[in-house]
């Protein structure tokens, strides 16, 4: 008879009883008992499983389990071959990719160049960096089963970096029949060529997601480095268990029922540091930036003067104090490309870094024509790194004179709802907060929030900004780092001038796992579960 562990009994007595009981039943399955299994609590519940449909990191992490990429980035920010080798013509106009041997889809079919062309085309319609690459593309073809040829209209310096980008939206490869799904529709199957297979029959949103080792996967021979190199799977099975309550997750970790917690609550760290059975480490050494995005389509933030008042009301320190608390893990940072990166600058960032502009914010709002329209602010309560920002921001906005409708929800609801272009009164929204790993924002073209294409091709919030698009085009044509830095500074000025988004700080998050786990890798898009092993299982 199955006896639930201590953490499960405590959950069963709470509001999470139904998921816990479902999990208890699932753990009686022979596959979960007999296999070498890693059980992990990720930063969020997984609901959207099409990695081309959203920039949500839990969906990206799912993508890395199931899919692979043509190229990848190593820890030195160098592009490396992954599924394909590549060569570039002398005139920098033709890029030829040759698929390596042994590549199979999870359904047993061979990976072909046609599949990869279709995958790149779908990605190029959705991702900001992909869209920019496609603007410079003259043709993208598969002359034979193993060869992909990309020809440019003019030289474009970020071709390889685009295809190797490590984070959302990643150009994952999938079969042609799946890749031909319209980019605004969810793909019908989870068939990749990556190191794990998704077990659709065991997927229970709100409870767990399950992956098993892909025995047909042929890893590269190079050592793993970030998202590149050999993806060697050393366990039979990985289960992502949903536990919205941070204390419940910690109890399960300490009792040994859970092996890995991606984002423990910062206030629990002192307790975890005393447990010799646990290891705590920051896997993403570059860290995150946290931001607020406003909806440009509807009042009040369709008015740039109102957006400016909201910017003046923001203050990074109280937000970061509430989010992180420990200054060892955060920094006041006005650089939209991330502090410590080649393009970092503090130009025009004083409103969010100085923190003494509330009187100015009140004055700006009074002069803006704001009519008291309530601001619908979505507040997810189930993700450690997203709970504090909406609460503090709502307080700051109210202090400035805004009326705020703070709507409690969960993160996956935010992920779905932020895609709606309906008015706030009809299920839309005015503002939400999210986080980005620094590699997602350190390059102006990678930073999807800078996209100025509006309702047709822009990221959630949909600003229409032709001047920003001109600056981005100038950046990709710049031939030196000095020129890129100058343009990047102009881009940052534009962000603060138009209030493209609210840049409210930079921070790092620790990850904790039991010492039975070995081979845990760091990287810009962590965690990954290849190379991990589990002793004594």
CATH topology of domain 288-507: Dipeptide-binding Protein; domain 3 (3.10.105)
What is the pLDDT at residue 33? 56
Using DSSP, how many helices (H) and how many strands (E) does the chain show? 18, 21
Q: For the stretch 311-323, what's the b/e string if a residue is b when 16 or more beta carbons lie within 10 angstroms of its beta carbon? A: bbbbbbbbbbbeb
**Cα gap 141→161, rounded to integer Å:** 19
What is the pLDDT at residue 157? 87
pLDDT single digits (tens) 227-257: 999 999 999 999 999 998 889 999 999 999 9
Both structure tokens of 173: 């490869």
Residues of the chain with pLDDT under 70: 1-33, 537
Residue ranges in 431-480 assigned as alpha helix (H): 466-477
Which segments within 323-472 are labelled E, that is strand? Answer: 330-331, 375-380, 404-409, 431-437
pLDDT single digits (tens) 297-334: 999 999 999 999 999 999 999 999 999 999 989 999 99
CATH topology of domain 6-54+189-283+511-534: D-Maltodextrin-Binding Protein; domain 2 (3.40.190)
- The residues pairing with 436 across neighbouring beta strands, listed in sequence order, are 289
Q: Which CATH class is domain 71-179?
A: alpha beta
Both structure tokens of 287: 């860290």
Backbone φ, ψ for residue 165 (5° rounding):
-55, 135
Both structure tokens of 92: 């920098």
Q: What is the DSSP letter of 426?
A: G
What is the pLDDT at residue 240? 98
Q: Is residue 430 within 8 Å of 423, Cβ to Cβ? A: no
- 124 half-sphere exposure, CB direction, 13 A CA radius: 19
- 412 half-sphere exposure, CB direction, 13 A CA radius: 13
What is the pLDDT at residue 537? 57
Q: Where are the domains of the chain?
A: 6-54+189-283+511-534, 71-179, 288-507
């Amino acid at each position: 008879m199955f006896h639930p562990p201590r953490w499960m009994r405590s959950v069963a007595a709470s509001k999470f009883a139904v998921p816990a009981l479902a999990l208890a039943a699932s753990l009686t399955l022979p596959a979960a008992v007999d296999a070498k299994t890693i059980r992990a609590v990720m930063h969020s519940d997984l609901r959207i499983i099409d990695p081309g449909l959203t920039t949500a990191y839990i969906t990206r992490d799912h993508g890395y389990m199931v899919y692979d990429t043509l190229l990848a980035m190593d820890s030195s920010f160098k592009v490396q071959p992954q599924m394909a080798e590549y060569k570039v013509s002398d005139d920098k106009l033709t890029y030829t990719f040759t698929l390596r041997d042994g590549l199979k889809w999870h359904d047993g079919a061979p990976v072909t160049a046609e599949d990869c062309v279709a995958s790149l085309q779908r990605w190029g319609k959705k991702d900001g960096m992909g869209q920019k690459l496609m603007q410079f593309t003259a043709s993208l073809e598969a002359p034979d089963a193993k060869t992909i040829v990309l020809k440019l209209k003019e030289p474009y310096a970020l071709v390889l970096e685009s295809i190797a980008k490590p984070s959302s939206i990643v150009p994952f490869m999938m079969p042609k029949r799946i890749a031909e799904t319209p980019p605004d529709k969810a793909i019908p199957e989870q068939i990749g060529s990556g190191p794990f297979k998704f077990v659709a029959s065991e997927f229970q949103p709100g409870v767990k997601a399950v992956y098993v080792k892909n025995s047909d996967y042929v890893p590269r021979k190079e050592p793993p480095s970030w998202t590149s190199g050999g993806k060697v799977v050393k366990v039979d099975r990985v289960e992502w268990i949903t536990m919205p309550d941070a204390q419940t997750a910690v109890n399960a970790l300490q009792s040994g029922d859970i092996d890995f917690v991606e984002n423990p609550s910062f206030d629990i760290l002192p307790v975890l540091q005393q447990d010799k059975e646990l290891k705590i480490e920051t896997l993403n050494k570059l860290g995150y930036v946290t931001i607020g995005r406003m909806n440009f389509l509807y009042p009040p933030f369709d008015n740039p003067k109102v957006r400016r008042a909201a910017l003046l009301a923001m203050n990074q320190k109280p937000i970061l104090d509430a989010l992180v608390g420990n200054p060892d893990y955060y920094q006041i940072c006005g650089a939209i490309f991330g502090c410590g990166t080649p393009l970092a600058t503090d130009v025009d960032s004083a409103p969010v870094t100085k923190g003494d502009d509330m009187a100015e914010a009140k004055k700006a709002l009074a002069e803006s024509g704001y009519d008291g329209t309530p601001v619908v602010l979505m507040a997810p309560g189930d993700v450690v790194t997203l709970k504090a920002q909406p609460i503090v921001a709502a307080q700051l906005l109210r202090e400035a004179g805004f009326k705020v409708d703070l709507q409690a929800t969960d993160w996956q609801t935010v992920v779905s709802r932020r895609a709606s272009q309906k008015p706030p009164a009809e299920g839309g929204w005015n503002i939400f907060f999210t986080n980005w790993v620094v590699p997602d924002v350190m390059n102006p073209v990678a930073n999807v929030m800078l996209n100025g294409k509006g309702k047709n091709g822009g990221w959630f919030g949909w600003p229409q900004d032709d001047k920003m698009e001109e600056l981005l085009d100038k950046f990709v044509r710049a031939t030196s780092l000095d020129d890129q830095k100058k343009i990047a500074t102009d881009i940052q000025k534009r962000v603060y001038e138009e209030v493209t988004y609210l840049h409210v700080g930079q921070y790092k998050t620790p990850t904790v796992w039991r010492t039975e786990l070995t081979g845990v890798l760091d990287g810009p898009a962590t965690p990954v579960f290849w190379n991990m092993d589990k002793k004594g299982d």
